[in-house]
Structure 1
């Protein structure tokens, strides 16, 4: 449902190319005016299709898309007043930079004098006014992306859509462009819908992030809420880095749940939705929230969870060390240890204890897995489980 303050609204929107399989399914999503919203998810999750439906390059099979209260479903792309930035820049190689940026204005039949003023203003915004006479081949990748951004902004659109615009840039340049886009968003008050599969990028740039999987939104929230309070196992594993310890729920007490691991050890964490005693679940724990300590120090009053472990691998990562641990029951765990002079690292093969607070982790239900129907003449074992726990250890995407 659209809220009274929604600037963009998807209501019951679905998209299917074959009439059978939905690429996007029953999407309800509101975007506020001036908001920076990122659509985050793996390939095939429906995020780009959602963006293309908003741009007008795809039509929804069902549902309604509204912009500022007006229905967009049947409005052609060039009449939606939406700017678009693509990953491959999509610049005309035979045109100068100024001509590329002026193209949307010429399509809208603005006068040459007005075009000149707007083009100069747009290029100055991205600090490329001095390169107006060059051609795209004479610019670096980052400069070309700035030109694409200027072209999307030059006609002063109500919304700017970005489809993985920084994916082709190297790490340093990508980070520079992230701050450039954030600056323009802040200074111009733009409404931006941004598609990415890079969760770090989404957390850095966005006011809110919508996490997609299998054509549906799994969670939409501010970056801090998304990282600290994932609603389900998919979000916990996809956003950031996560240790997932699998077991069965042995008790639920108010806001707390106890998870019994395969080896018989009980650990506690904040209680996620949909949990039931006796059902399979996983405990989500960020590697930076755990610490290593000796057995004699593991009984502190503020520590709720203590597990014995053996150091299997030490990896130097500059600002921190990654300590790979093996638990007694075969589970694997990673702890990030800050690189400080006062931090002593354990030796490879040494016994240690990993400790963390109960409110730094969360017990989440394990989603059911759809299994293929049995072929004719073949029976399905009555003991076949409909619940399949995720792969243990750290999930990093």
Structure 2
């Protein structure tokens, strides 16, 4: 059993990585990261997800040692990291643009972290051999990076990050430069390697689908703060606010004012006078502004609407064929537009373009949430 696999079966009470009240400012006035508290467990795959300028990459760079917190502390295995240089942190790093040495072969690139650590040649050769086999590149060990495809270069970068068995691997948008099919292939390979090795992995991405399919948990960043950190299914089904709901997958949003609150349900009154029932979070009050969020695949149309559903009347504005599903856009008048995603089955009748139609959904399928937080950070694509 490898050192990685041993870690996978180890249970720890304390967090492996901890950010405690960490903030980062480049000018002493505005914060790129503000008051960050985050714990990461050993062996976890955590994705940092958010738009450009949200603070996710700055958080990763502080963990790697390429940036220093303006305030707060970062610990790894209970030991402070804040003032340790990057090369003493026992961390593997994979960048979007690979950062391979063009004058070195594949094997030499992979072995570079071993040579700088003073490892003996025989041990280096064995570790390089295993790393090449792990990423299925043993047959091109003697090639230079310029002779490789983008996917092969990324595999080399991944093997180089793992070859010295680091305690932690950080990935900064590692698949962003690849085409869709290759990106999906490497997503599956990275996820498989994580499960096989049990290494702790922190992964930065702006791609919501990538984060949802690969991660144990996802931390959603906006405005230098974490809006929610949770497993993918929890983020999708129970977002903490309208920003998370809109950023994680596609959502319909209906704005209104909170009416009655009973248990875990609340009513939302729209400007058109309609009153809708949905799941409620305890950070809302009667009379406050809120947004009802609803996934397109949970919308029912026409005869499929059930007796006890929330209901609105609208007009079919557009129908788009997507092969496995149909996207139907409904104009709700002053309440805005709603999108329904319908499975492409023969027994489901198509609504006519321009026709009036009833739109419905279950109260269990929607959330009534606080509006998105207001931005207090000058968003200039700094991460």
Structure 1 position 10, deviation (Å)? 0.6
Note the alpha carbon deviations across 1:268-296, whole angstroms, 9 max, x for none: 100123212222111000000111114xx
2:104 aligned residue: 95
Matches within 5 A, 1:198-213: 198-213=207-222
Question: Is the 8 Å Cα contact of residues 45 and 213 (structure 1) preserved in structure 2?
Answer: yes
Counterparts in 2 of 1:228 and 1:330: CA distance versus 1, 3 Å? closer
Structure 1 position 181, deviation (Å)? 0.3
1:362 aligned residue: 367
Distance (Å, rounded) in 2 between the aligned partners of 1:291 and 1:163: 40
Give the SS at the match of 1:101. helix
Q: How many residues align?
A: 366
1:241 maps to 2:250: yes
1:162 aligned residue: 171
Distance (Å, rounded) in 1 between the aligned partners of 2:371 and 2:85: 43
Structure 1 position 316, deviation (Å)? 1.1
Distance (Å, rounded) in 1 between the aligned partners of 2:84 and 2:374: 39
- Decide which of 315, 319, 331 is 1:326's aligned counterpart: 331
2:118 aligned residue: 109
Give RMSD over aligned pairs.
1.5
- Decide which of 300, 304, 309 is 2:309's aligned counterpart: 304
Which stretches in structure 1 are left out of the alignment for 5+ residues?
372-397
1:181 maps to 2:190: yes
Which stretches in structure 2 are left out of the alignment for 5+ residues?
1-11, 377-383
Structure 1 position 119, deviation (Å)? 0.8
- Decide which of 59, 67, 70 is 2:68's aligned counterpart: 59
Structure 1 position 342, deviation (Å)? 1.8
Structure 1 position 350, deviation (Å)? 1.3
Note the alpha carbon deviations across 1:19-42, whole angstroms, 9 max, x for none: 111111111101000000000000
Structure 1 position 252, deviation (Å)? 1.1
Runs of 4+ in 1 over 6 A off after TM superposition: none
Q: TM-score, normalization: structure 1?
A: 0.90
Counterparts in 2 of 1:85 and 1:272: CA distance versus 1, 3 Å? same
Matches within 5 A, 1:371-386: none
Higher relative contact order (CA 8 A, sep 6+): 2
- Decide which of 262, 265, 281 is 2:274's aligned counterpart: 265
1:192 aligned residue: 201
Distance (Å, rounded) in 1 between the aligned partners of 2:228 and 2:217: 10
Structure 1 position 368, deviation (Å)? 6.2
2:358 aligned residue: 353
